[in-house]
Amino acid sequence: MEDTKCRQHHALAVPLPGQGHINPLMRLCKRLAAEHDFTITFLDIHRHHEEAAAAESSPAAHQEPSSAPAAAAHDVEFSPPDPAQKLDIRRARLSLYLPPPSSPAARLEGLFEGVQTLAPQIEQLLLRLQQQHPPITCLISDLFVTAATQHLADKLQLPRVALIPCSHSIILHFHHLLEGGFSLEEVMKVSIQRELLRENVFKEGLQGLPTLKVDDLMENFGGDFFMYTFTCKALEETKNKAHAFVVNSFEEIEGNALKVNMKAPLYAVGPLVEPLEKEASTSLLEEDDTCLLWLDQQPCSSVLFISFGSIASISLAQFEELVAGLLSSRQRFLWVFRSNLINDVVFTTFPEQLLSESCGRGYVVSWAPQVKVLSHCSIHGFLTHCGWNSTLEAISRGIPMICFPYFADQFMDAKLIVQEWKVGLRLRKSKESGLVDREEVERAIRALMDEKEGQILHKNALVLKQVCDQNYLSGGYAFKNLQALVQSLN
């Protein structure tokens, strides 16, 4: 008799060890485990910075020579499932030693490069997982860890699924450059990159996507081309060799982009944000839940949530403009104030005087349970750096946004939010000061929180929320696409 049973899958999941990359991969794995009976081994890559490592008392840290390479790794350790995850996802753990970052861009570059050095340990782990029951059947890794994982998948003949952790629209702009006759070698030479970017390669708006001007692209990379070359390289290797792409997106928000063929099949399974009852923290930093108690005491739909994700930073002058505009808007706010939010100044706490000037209208935490906050009925708007996860978390909760993009894909995300989906406003910099000035901040906050414009954005956001809710259901769009991916792996 023919065996019609599906294969029992066991996937090793390898994220880039940054908050905006761990969250969507973990959410994807949770769905695979809960709905498709996957066994998951999730790799936690524990980042240490060399200075901190020297001070640590663990034997591993003491073995680290002072002339340590830019990144070094130790053997993998397994840990049992964490009940807080609400699922049977086993964790494997590796340490990665990185040089202390000098800027947000340097932090990302260090991570991109550091993770590549983990390939030997990941290979050892895969070999061990091949001996276990059920044996490993596939590798799911972030697009930005292609260099550390694709060749291992090829060597061990395992299908690799690559998760695109950002908007698909920005990825297609890279794809366009690669396919449009600009060879990788050309693109990788910095001098030529500058020429390419000056040419109007995206003039008409690519395949129905929002027009990305050359200036936007320059702004995206802030003069740091490593991200650009790194993405092109990862994309080229993935589309030629991976089993499939998985993208955290869906038709109603990026329909045109999702139609474009990139060699490897593409499965759109977004938004990778769970309903509140299934939400379990995957935070690297400790979440301050007291903000939820504060939100409980605020009127319904009255609070602006302000958060710039895990990496973005702003100048002290910009911070002062933001605070001044916020205070003059006289709106209630909850602000995530990371100690490294302001360039070159380390604040351990939010400046007290500013908080007292808010006359009790504001609350500040160093890290929030963001999805729970966005789900709270007192939240009415979100001032955001437009990271892709923050963007999808906001639309999945029907919250309109004030966009303050910082780098990477965030300018494209802001265009989608403002021009395409019409669920947000964009803060504009003053030509004279190069800053978003206090008047502009006040104008945007009032418009979103208090005025007719905000009501329209809110209405549009609620329509997108309904689509997200439908997608998530069993039999919905994301469910079906994930099912198709699983079938392709059988």
Shortest CB 419 distance to ligand UDP, Å: 20
Report the residue from 117, 137, 146, 307 that binds ligand UDP according to the rule CB under 6 A.
307
Q: Is 20 in the site for ligand UDP (CB under 6 A)?
A: yes
Closer of 15 and 210 to ligand UDP (Cβ)? 15
Closer of 138 and 368 to ligand UDP (Cβ)? 368
Quick check: 454 and 447 in contact, CB under 8 A? yes
351-390 footprint of ligand UDP as x/- string (CB under 6 A): ----------------xx-xx---------------xxxx
Q: Is 247 in the site for ligand UDP (CB under 6 A)?
A: no
The span of 115-123, 305-313, 327-335, 455-463 binding ligand UDP (CB under 6 A) equals: 305-313
Q: Is 220 in the site for ligand UDP (CB under 6 A)?
A: no
What residue has token string 């001044």? Answer: 324
Beta strand 10-14 with 39-49 is parallel
- For residues 459, 280, 391 and 334, what is the CA-based torsion angle, rounded to 10 degrees? 80
Closer of 97 and 305 to ligand UDP (Cβ)? 305
Shortest CB 45 distance to ligand UDP, Å: 15
Quick check: 429 and 316 in contact, CB under 8 A? no
The span of 15-23, 44-52, 53-61, 433-441 binding ligand UDP (CB under 6 A) equals: 15-23
Phi/psi of residue 362, nearest 5 degrees: -120, 155
* CA–CA gap between residue 277 and residue 279 (Å, rounded): 6
Residue list 73-112, contact with ligand UDP (CB under 6 A): none
Q: Is 248 in the site for ligand UDP (CB under 6 A)?
A: no
Residue list 411-430, contact with ligand UDP (CB under 6 A): none
Q: Is 310 in the site for ligand UDP (CB under 6 A)?
A: yes
Shortest CB 202 distance to ligand UDP, Å: 23
Closer of 393 and 442 to ligand UDP (Cβ)? 393
Report the residue from 254, 393, 437, 442 that binds ligand UDP according to the rule CB under 6 A.
393
Q: Which two tokens stand for residue 41?
A: 């081994």
Quick check: 365 and 372 in contact, CB under 8 A? no
Return the SS3 of 6.
coil
What residue has token string 């053997």? Answer: 75
* CA–CA gap between residue 432 and residue 443 (Å, rounded): 18
Quick check: 20 and 387 in contact, CB under 8 A? yes
* CA–CA gap between residue 64 and residue 73 (Å, rounded): 10
Q: Is 311 in the site for ligand UDP (CB under 6 A)?
A: yes
Shortest CB 286 distance to ligand UDP, Å: 10
E strands in 228-349: 244-247, 266-268, 303-307, 332-336
The span of 40-48, 144-152, 306-314, 316-324 binding ligand UDP (CB under 6 A) equals: 306-314
Q: Is 283 in the site for ligand UDP (CB under 6 A)?
A: yes
Closer of 350 and 388 to ligand UDP (Cβ)? 388
Shortest CB 309 distance to ligand UDP, Å: 3
Shortest CB 271 distance to ligand UDP, Å: 11
Report the residue from 309, 362, 398, 454 that binds ligand UDP according to the rule CB under 6 A.
309
* Whole-angstrom Cα Rg for the chain: 22
* CA–CA gap between residue 486 and residue 211 (Å, rounded): 34
* CA–CA gap between residue 196 and residue 183 (Å, rounded): 11
What is the CA 333 to chain-centroid distance, rounded? 23
E strands in 373-414: 379-384, 401-403
Residue list 313-352, contact with ligand UDP (CB under 6 A): 336
Shortest CB 311 distance to ligand UDP, Å: 5
Q: Which two tokens stand for residue 139?
A: 């590798």
Shortest CB 20 distance to ligand UDP, Å: 2
The span of 211-219, 309-317, 439-447, 454-462 binding ligand UDP (CB under 6 A) equals: 309-317
Shortest CB 97 distance to ligand UDP, Å: 22
Closer of 271 and 325 to ligand UDP (Cβ)? 271
Closer of 20 and 210 to ligand UDP (Cβ)? 20
What residue has token string 């504060």? Answer: 294
Enter the DSSP assignment of 477.
Answer: H
Closer of 152 and 306 to ligand UDP (Cβ)? 306
Closer of 150 and 307 to ligand UDP (Cβ)? 307
Return the SS3 of 387.
coil
Q: Which two tokens stand for residue 185?
A: 């070698």
Shortest CB 464 distance to ligand UDP, Å: 17
> CB neighbours of 450 closer than 8 A, spacing ≥ 6?
331
CB atoms within 10 A of CB 185: 8
**Residue 134 preceded by cis peptide, ω within 30:** yes
Closer of 193 and 370 to ligand UDP (Cβ)? 370
* CA–CA gap between residue 117 and residue 149 (Å, rounded): 11
Which residues of this chain interact with ligand UDP, rule CB under 6 A?
19-20, 23, 283, 307, 309-312, 336, 367-368, 370-371, 387-390, 393
